[in-house]
Chains A and B, each alone.
Chain A
Amino acid sequence: AQSVTQLDSQVPVFEEAPVELRCNYSSSVSVYLFWYVQYPNQGLQLLLKYLSGSTLVKGINGFEAEFNKSQTSFHLRKPSVHISDTAEYFCAVILNQAGTALIFGKGTTLSVSS
């Protein structure tokens, strides 16, 4: 079975500071990795995904994530955050062979203040 652990439930940062949201996963088979963002009163929106190839993946809104197979991690980073980045961020995995079920972590609340 697969599982996802998001190590920080809340991350408060100041505007223009860098941020890293941590995600570790556990799986006995190969998976694809995703980061989703949820703004207040909205659905989940894909930020980026890792399928194969380069381990550094760039997504929307200036976010990027690095896949580290040996550490089974997929941490999300942004060099300079904005107030508008305040949201809930979810890491997720799916089996890369005909998988349909996204397995999510508990989420990390990013709070950006001025």
Chain B
Amino acid sequence: EPEVTQTPSHQVTQMGQEVILRCVPISNHLYFYWYRQILGQKVEFLVSFYNNEISEKSEIFDDQFSVERPDGSNFTLKIRSTKLEDSAMYFCASSLGLAEETQYFGPGTRLLVL
């Protein structure tokens, strides 16, 4: 069964450093997403991406964040200058379409900012 994969599974970085989280969505999916979950809190939507453009973004997704689909398979989330409060589990997801279409989630990347 096809699945969403994410690398790395864990990343530790120093405050102010740039990090890139990588995802390989399911191959025939058209919509891609990033969510995050700070320890003990809700899973929060960050951004959705379709046709090489951001479809929707939350207020969390500020200028420090960017997304890219650099090739036909990868989908990345870049945090330009990490802050302590960026420490969280980051989930990538993909879907065939909007709304009623199931979003399939990857296993997550645990980011720790020191």
Contact = CB atoms under 8 A, between A and B. Distances in A.
B77 to A, nearest CB: 15
A35 to B, nearest CB: 12
B48 A45 contact: no
Interface stretch (A16-24, A61-69, A71-79, A101-109): A101-109
A104 B99 contact: no
A34 B4 CA distance: 19
Q: Interface centre among B50, B93, B98, B106, by most A CB within 10 Å? A: B98
A42 B4 CA distance: 11
A46 B102 contact: yes
Contacts of A32: 99-100
Q: Chain B contact residues (Cβ within 8 angstroms of A): what range?
A: 20 to 34
A32 B104 CA distance: 16
A66 to B, nearest CB: 19
A42 to B, nearest CB: 6
A11 interface: no
A28 interface: no
Interface in B6-50: 31, 33, 35, 41-45, 48, 50
Contacts, number: 59
A101 B56 contact: yes
Nearest to A94: B99
Interface in A35-52: 36, 41-46, 49, 51
A82 B39 CA distance: 27
Given A42-B107, A43-B4, A44-B91, A104 B98 contact: no
Interface string B98-114: 11101111111000000
B59 to A, nearest CB: 11
16 contacts: A32-B100, A43-B106, A45-B105, A92-B43, A96-B100, A100-B33, A100-B48, A100-B50, A100-B98, A101-B48, A101-B56, A101-B58, A102-B35, A102-B45, A103-B45, A106-B42
Interface of A: 32, 36, 41-46, 49, 51, 90, 92, 94-107
